[in-house]
Amino acid sequence: MEGKIRLHITIKGVVQGVGFRYFTRRAARELGLEGFVRNSRDGNVEAEVEGSENRIEIFLNELDKGPPASNVTAIDTDPLVSGGDYQGFEIRF
C-alpha cells in the first residue's frame, strides 16, 4: 500500500474571485484527499493536502488547469510531515 504524503501548495496567478477554492475542494474530494484550501492575503491561493502520492500528482495537474476563469501561472509545493489529522477537505476563510 502506498504511503501518505502531505504538501503545502501555493497557487499563483488569477486565482481569487474565480471559484478556485470551490474547484480545489471538489477535485480533492473526488480524489479522496484531505486538507484545506484558502485565499492568501497576497492574492494567491494556498492549500495543504494529504493523501497518496499518485492522487496528489493528479490533484496538482487539476489545479494547474483550474476553473475556466482562472489563469494559473505557477504552483509551488513544499513537503510537510504527514500527520493524519485532517477530516475531509474544507475551505477555510
Catalytic residues, by residue number, are 21, 39
- CA distance linking residue 89 with residue 93, whole number of Å: 13
Q: From the centroid of its chain, how far is CA 59?
A: 7
Which residue carries 500527520 as its cell?
83
Q: What angle do helix axes 20-30 and 53-65 make, rounded to 10 degrees?
A: 150
